[in-house]
Chains A and B, each alone.
Chain A
Amino acid sequence: MVVTGDYSAAYGALICDVDVVAAYPITPQTFIVEDFSEFVADGLTDAEFVKVESEHSAMSACIAAQAAGARTFTATASQGLALMHEMLFVAAALHLPIVMPVVNRTLAAPIGIWCEYNDTMPERDTGWLQVYCETNQEVLDMVIQSYKIGEHRDVMLPVMPSMDAFILSHTVEPVHAPSTDEVADFLPRYQPQAILDTSNPMTIGSFAPPEYIQEIRYQSEVTMQKAREVIQQVNDDFAQTFGRDYHGLIEEYRTDDADVVLITMGTVTGTAREVVDDMRREGKKVGLVKLRFFRPFPLQELRRVAENVEAMGVYDRAMSFGSGGPAFIETRHALYGLDIPVVNFLAGLGGRDVVKEDVRLMFEKTLKAAKEGRAENETVWIGTRGVKP
């Protein structure tokens, strides 16, 4: 099929045979909700579609449905995600493996509808797994994988596969869709840990004094750490079954003998692959790391790559004001003690197009840092009028 990222997400939910969908539409996620409601109207699924009055209610309904033993699905973007904020903690701490594609859209002010990661980045501490997609195919495949990862006995955590506003959400490209039966073989039925059941009552999410909460927090950390292995297993199973390999927490592209690598997320990765090929033809030894999962963060994987290069660049599509880009901050944490320059690049904020020349500039700055043994500027804003990159 030739479809949008939004359609891919909705279709992913369809073939994963979800039981309950509760969602509230927001640009540029609207089509996910619309497409799914059409599947329901056309009788393609017997899922319960719950119309709600806000994203806060959408997440609350999903939490309740998942706690009742249903496989649930929702989707949102930007302000909608911010409105869900407090409920995201509830879903994660109660170990309810909800899957929620997020279309990355700039968070106001100013109001914009285009791509920026300042919506999902503030949610990185909620306990959800986060994975950033590069293509519509990856969106569909990650919806399927998200259920398998999240519902794994050792994980039981919600997952947020995200895609760039418009660059994926509203862009059509060829997507190969497995059949419902194929997915059913790959993804077994959801086996809940604890179920709201009137004949066998439970307390879920009740009051807990200081004697109990710290152990429950530790469980969140244990399960998030376990997710590392499970992500790799599911990736490998998926590759074997469907023939598409995303390599796990990160994907390396032409890093083998690279002098420098650039870390990218989301759709900029595709453009950067082109730039790597161009520069390789010119004899420059550059490589690329696609940072796929942000939670759990690939600490060891990035360190292993860094051990073999002279400098690293990190691209961010969001800024943690007063510190640096989130991917940069965490990469440096992963690299602590390694003596190589790391340069942070900010570009594409508010949905500004990130073009090949921008990416080339990132590589050139990183090569220069490698040559000089230090970065001239640690944080480089690219394509910002009035600011020298």
Chain B
Amino acid sequence: MAAQTYALAAVMEDNYAVSFPFFGAERRGAPVMAFTRVDKDVIRIKTQIYEPDYVVVLDETLLETVDVLKGLKEDGMVVINTARRPDEVQLSREVNCATVDATSISLELLGRPITNTSMLGALARATGEVSMESIERAIMEKFGGKLGTEAGEKNARAARKAYQDLQVGMCRGGKDFVPRKEWLPTVQEMPLGGSIGALETEAGLVGIGSFVRNKTGDWRTFIPHVDHDKCIGCRMCWFYCPEGCITMEDQKAVIDFDYCKGCGICAQECPVDAISMERERR
């Protein structure tokens, strides 16, 4: 949505723009990529972007595992959602860096940790490629139409706040990233039809049982907390948890944080509000 809104704002300023998402495993807030190209001329190329001018990082936890600067042009810029100042952020190399605490802004103004509209304001300021006025108009058109004028205005305010709060500087370099090993079998190595049991590969275990090793809890921005004094053991959270990571011990819900992705569904479903979602502190 954010990438599309940025494209819309660019078009409002007589540019041509193209924007598209690439989804992996799906969950609200799960790591996804989106790409946007802006040009004065018609854009014909249909590929993903491998050498961007700007990289926007909505989820700070990704900085630990992914070299977000990979492919970024020498004079490019990275815009990050973090409470830290640019010079407090260490990445693989020293580049132009802008930071803003979009999560706090979104929580304050929208009541939810959905940071994409705030980051649009940050991006407008960081790049100077699109005016803040166009971003606001685009947000009103994209979000206002669908969610109502009030929601549109709230999102526009969040963007404006991020625009104002943005800090621009340089990040520190020198952080080492061990390139993530991927299992990329050839036709000959691929089990016929892709049917696999437990398979040891150069990238670790794949297939059956691999989740025992591949913990997915580090995707979390929010962490559920169960108040066992309030919990009545009704199992609603257990029933709804999409990760199957809740068990019942002595009639109380217990969460396995190795796999909990912080989606908040359990908190939503609990009939006695025994579960609260709190900011994850790492």
Contacts and interface: CB of A to CB of B under 8 A. Distances in A.
B86 to A, nearest CB: 33
Interface in A75-118: 93-95
Contacts of A215: 185-187, 190
A67 to B, nearest CB: 8
Interface in B1-39: 24
Interface in B162-192: 182, 184-187, 190-192
A193 B197 CA distance: 12
B30 to A, nearest CB: 14
Contacts of A209: 24
Contacts of A218: 187
A203 B194 CA distance: 8
Nearest to B209: A201
A193 B184 contact: no
B184 to A, nearest CB: 6
Interface string A187-202: 0000001100000111
Contacts of A216: 190, 193-194
Interface residues of A, number: 22
Nearest to B185: A215
Contacts of B186: 215
Contact of A156 (B24, B190, B192, B194): B192
B231 to A, nearest CB: 33
Contacts of B24: 209
A212 B184 CA distance: 7
B195 interface: yes
B192 A194 contact: yes
B208 A95 contact: no
Nearest to B196: A203
A257 interface: no
B207 interface: yes
A206 interface: yes
Contacts of A222: 187
B193 A94 contact: yes
A152 to B, nearest CB: 13
B191 to A, nearest CB: 7
Contacts of A180: none
Given A211-B182, A211-B184, A215-B185, A205 B195 contact: yes
Interface in A252-271: none
Contacts of B194: 205-206, 208, 212, 216
A219 interface: yes
A212 B194 CA distance: 8
A204 interface: yes
Nearest to B189: A215
B266 to A, nearest CB: 24
A202 B190 contact: no
* B184, B186, B191, most chain A CB atoms within 10 A: B191
Contacts of A204: 193, 195
A202 B208 contact: yes
A208 B192 CA distance: 14
Nearest to B206: A203
Interface string A344-371: 0000000000000000000000000000
A209 B206 CA distance: 14
B191 A194 contact: yes
Interface string B256-267: 000000000000
Contacts of A206: 194
Nearest to B182: A211
Contacts of B192: 95, 156, 193-194, 219
* A94, A194, A206, A222, most chain B CB atoms within 10 A: A194
Nearest to A216: B194
B217 to A, nearest CB: 20
A202 B187 contact: no
Contact of B208 (A156, A203, A205, A212): A203
A275 B185 CA distance: 54
Given A211-B182, A211-B184, A215-B185, A201 B190 contact: no
* B24, B186, B197, most chain A CB atoms within 10 A: B197
* B184, B187, B208, most chain A CB atoms within 10 A: B187
A201 to B, nearest CB: 5
A335 B186 CA distance: 33
A146 B226 CA distance: 59
A202 B182 contact: no
Given A194-B191, A209-B24, A215-B190, A202 B196 contact: yes
A129 to B, nearest CB: 16
* A156, A193, A202, most chain B CB atoms within 10 A: A202
Interface string A306-336: 0000000000000000000000000000000
A70 to B, nearest CB: 16
Contacts of A200: 197
Given A215-B186, A216-B194, A219-B193, 6 more contacts: A194-B192, A194-B193, A202-B195, A202-B208, A203-B195, A204-B193
Interface of B: 24, 182, 184-187, 190-197, 207-208
13 contacts: A95-B193, A156-B192, A193-B195, A194-B191, A194-B197, A201-B197, A202-B207, A203-B196, A204-B195, A208-B194, A212-B185, A219-B190, A219-B192
Which 8 A/B pairs are nearest by Cβ-Cβ distance? A194-B195, A204-B195, A95-B193, A202-B197, A94-B193, A215-B190, A218-B187, A215-B187
